[in-house]
Chain A
Amino acid sequence: MPVREANNLKIWQRRSGRESLFHWVLWLIGIAIFAYCWQQISKSTTWFFVWDAPRIANDIWTRATPPKWEYITQLGKPIWDTLNIATLGTIIAVILAVPVAFLAAQNTTPSRFFIRPIALLIIVSTRSINSLIWALLLIAIIGPGVFAGVIAIAIRSIGFCAKLLYEAIEEIDQTQVEAITATGASRWQIMAYGIVPQIMPAFAGISVFRWDINIRESTVLGLVGAGGIGLQLSSSLNVLAWPQVSLILLVILAAVVISEWVSAKVRGAII
């Protein structure tokens, strides 16, 4: 413990001189980087608009309130579409994620040096690209509509579900697998009776959790034209119909809160 002596008094310090110097240099570099970033951001900002922002915000607020409640009658179908995008996307994703997860887990993968890296690559690449970008891409390929949204959500969720699932597979209790193996079970029987029952709760939990996230994501997919309530949001924004925008935002907020509540309840019941 570094102790400094001054006037015959021992003063405790948290770090020795060299360590604290090192820390100061680190902080200095960090602050310099941040200052540079901020400078660049502020360079490409029109500050006049920023100083004007409170007035604009106030203006938007007065335009947006009260929400246009009667518009909700036209939102039934978009909400149903949003629900479909999230649910069907999750179902497809989960079906595709299971084999990927089994191929990626250390203890079930058929080949550690060839197939496992491919599975991991699928997981990383689908996970690191946002569903909006997938939607953008799919709209360019298969045209706008709900179907593009479903596929976008499905692709995006594969990585997430497969990652959590393969971690669950790697953490299983090996003794149960050994017991099944000892009975002379085949490779598939070991999977069905030794591994699957152990990961089933995790699997159900992951699916519901992802469904909850997908409801969130599918509400905004319409912004790029992939169906759902986001489509109404973007068209209302384009015609500056702020009362409709505020109503849609309220509906989205309600959907998010409800889906989070449902998912928490279901996960609570499973685990």
Chain B
Amino acid sequence: MNDAVFDVETKLGQPWKKPPFVQRAWLRWALLLGLIAYLIAAYMTIDVNWSRVYEGLERGKKFVLAFANPDFTTRSSDIWEGMLESILMTVASSVVGIIISIPVALGAARNVAPLPIYLICRGIIAISRALQEIIVAILLVAIFGFGPLAGFLTLSFATIGFLSKLLAEDIESMDKVQAEAIKASGARWTQWINYGVQPQVMPRLIGLSIYRIDINFRESAILGLVGAGGIGATLNTAFDRYEYDTAAAILLIIIVIVMALEYLSGVIRARVQ
């Protein structure tokens, strides 16, 4: 709606046309043409082995059927061990990650920290966010050897970037008045943080932490693929051996735990906020 040139007289008697989503006509056509050209180029360069895909449909059907009849028992000890390891990694890394990310978040908030500390902490956050979990896990497995320690470190590292960034944003947008009131009563810096800043960001911190626990559990399920411990290794083996019923059982357990965590986090977040 071009209000400036909207003229009732010229519009009268003409049928109404839906205004397009992209206003500028040339941009709209350029986007459309670009999309078509891209799709053609992409389609030409991807070589899909359709006969192999067709053959695979049979196996796909088997897998879908396996979901209706998952096998929890044959490999129950492996599944149980992997799951326990995933949960251990999730809990430990979330605790360590949250503890470390609180000072980093304070340092990355411009209204709390001086400029040099701010830059250092923002740097830490940027590095941690740019590297994906799985790549960090590969490097840490190469350095620390196989096992849950590498996974634990990976998840802690990823937690720092996620939590610090969002928490720092919350600290920066806090209500200054309360913090100033505490300062005016002659509080030390630590007291100022404890009574002026912390109560304001606590609900957000709890909500984010629980959300991050949820993410950490999901991520811990794949770290096993590169040898960093957890259920991923068991899952990978199940796929490699075409034991779809076991794989389906593992996936179902993951989905149920994630759903439970999501429900729990919804309840807790609703209570604290």
Please give the residue numbers on chain A whose beta carbons come within 8 Å of chain B beta carbons, in ascending order: 30, 33-34, 37-38, 40-42, 44-46, 49-50, 53, 56-57, 60, 80-81, 84, 87-88, 124-125, 127-130, 132-133, 136-137, 140-143, 145-147, 150, 193, 197, 200, 204, 216-217, 219-220, 223-224, 237, 249, 252-253, 256-257
If the complex has contacts A41-B89, A146-B46, are A60 and B142 also in contact, measured as CB distance less than 8 A? Answer: yes
If the complex has contacts A87-B38, A128-B218, are A220 and B148 also in contact, measured as CB distance less than 8 A? Answer: no
If the complex has contacts A130-B219, A130-B221, A147-B53, are A38 and B92 also in contact, measured as CB distance less than 8 A? Answer: yes
Judge whether B135 and A42 touch: CB under 8 Å. no
Cα–Cα, bound, A237→B56 (Å): 29
| B:216-255 near A, CB below 8 Å | 218-219, 221-222, 225-226, 229, 232, 235-236, 239-240, 242, 247, 251, 254-255
If the complex has contacts A41-B152, A130-B219, A193-B18, are A142 and B53 also in contact, measured as CB distance less than 8 A? Answer: yes
B117 to chain A, nearest CB (A): 24
With a CB–CB cut-off of 8 A, which chain B residues contact A56?
142-143
Judge whether A129 and B135 touch: CB under 8 Å. no
B63 to chain A, nearest CB (A): 6
- Chain A's interface: helix, strand, loop or mixed, by majority? helix
* Chain B count of residues within 8 A CB distance of the other chain: 58
Kindly name the residue among B38, B145, B254, B259 whose own CB sees the greatest number of chain A CB atoms within 10 A.
B145
With a CB–CB cut-off of 8 A, which chain A residues contact B242?
140
For residue B28, CB closer than 8 A to chain A, the reply is no
B 123-152 to A, binary, CB cutoff 8 A, 1 in contact else 0: 000000011101100110011110111001
Cα–Cα, bound, A84→B130 (Å): 21
Beyond A40-B88, A60-B143, A128-B262, 17 additional pairs, beta carbon < 8 A: A40-B84, A44-B85, A49-B144, A49-B145, A50-B145, A87-B42, A124-B262, A127-B258, A132-B225, A136-B235, A140-B63, A140-B240, A141-B63, A220-B132, A220-B134, A223-B226, A256-B132
For residue B11, CB closer than 8 A to chain A, the reply is no
For residue B73, CB closer than 8 A to chain A, the reply is no
Cα–Cα, bound, A17→B53 (Å): 67
Cα–Cα, bound, A30→B57 (Å): 48
Judge whether B46 and A84 touch: CB under 8 Å. yes
Judge whether B132 and A143 touch: CB under 8 Å. no
With a CB–CB cut-off of 8 A, which chain B residues contact A137?
63, 239, 247
Closest 9 CB pairs of A and B: A49-B145, A128-B258, A142-B56, A37-B92, A45-B149, A141-B60, A143-B52, A37-B88, A147-B48
With a CB–CB cut-off of 8 A, which chain A residues contact B84?
40
Judge whether B42 and A223 touch: CB under 8 Å. no
